[in-house]
Chain A
Amino acid sequence: GAVVSQHPSRVICKSGTSVKIECRSLDFQATTMFWYRQFPKQSLMLMATSNEGSKATYEQGVEKDKFLINHASLTLSTLTVTSAHPEDSSFYICSASKGYPRSDYEQYFGPGTRLTVT
């Protein structure tokens, strides 16, 4: 159990367009989902935390108008990169937690989405 999927796994888009990435918990209800960004050979940087039914909490320095996060249901969160530019090219990973933010709930990671903006 505790499987998280992401779609698409890879996406190429043109500069100025928007792209949506989906994160789904397949066999459990995820009250909290996290979105990370990872540049090549670097660590994961948390972008935002989303709780089902409420607005996402963004980390300092992350543009909330550029990276729109929606957590509409207990199994789905979406990240939309609006007006994408080449510098937005990165590996985006989501994770899902079964419980509300507490120390004893593990995060389950999706396989990631590689975004390339041309």
Chain B
Amino acid sequence: AQKITQTQPGMFVQEKEAVTLDCTYDTSDPSYGLFWYKQPSSGEMIFLIYQGSYDQQNATEGRYSLNFQKARKSANLVISASQLGDSAMYFCAMRDRNTGKLIFGQGTTLQVKP
């Protein structure tokens, strides 16, 4: 069975500093996709970044980058130059190749301090 684990319930970071949010996954499928979403207090799910299991390079999207370590089955999100607006809950998710379902981790609440 596929599983996503986020072990950090809450994180603090100083404004303008970088922060890493951890995500590990478990799957026996050689082909999979990994996602990170941001959920502010309004509740909307905002797509941040995607990494395919066969992608040769780590994904990057502006201030977001994904530290993909396939052998360790980890897909950590790195946010550089944190901003106050980054305060939110962050979810790591894996997509089941056959069903298209997303399996979410427990989430990490990030608070950016001024």
Chain A interface residues (CB < 8 Å from chain B) = 32, 34, 38, 41-44, 46, 49, 91, 93, 95, 97, 100-109, 111-112, 114
Contacts and interface: CB of A to CB of B under 8 A. Distances in A.
A103 B101 contact: no
Contacts of A97: 100
Contact of B45 (A41, A42, A46, A109): A109
Interface stretch (B14-22, B58-66, B104-112): B104-112
Given A44-B91, A93-B45, A111-B44, A32 B100 contact: yes
Interface of B: 31-33, 37, 42-45, 47, 50, 89, 91, 95-107, 109
A69 to B, nearest CB: 15
A38 B98 CA distance: 24
Contacts of B47: 106, 108-109
A116 to B, nearest CB: 14
B109 A46 contact: no
A100 B97 CA distance: 11
A73 B98 CA distance: 23
Contacts of B50: 106
B101 A91 contact: no
B100 A112 contact: no
Contacts of B42: 111
Contact of B109 (A32, A41, A44, A112): A41
Contact of A102 (B37, B44, B97, B106): B97
Contacts of A43: 91, 104-107
A32 B99 CA distance: 10
A103 B109 contact: no
Contacts of A49: 99-101
B75 to A, nearest CB: 15
B72 to A, nearest CB: 21
B99 A101 contact: yes
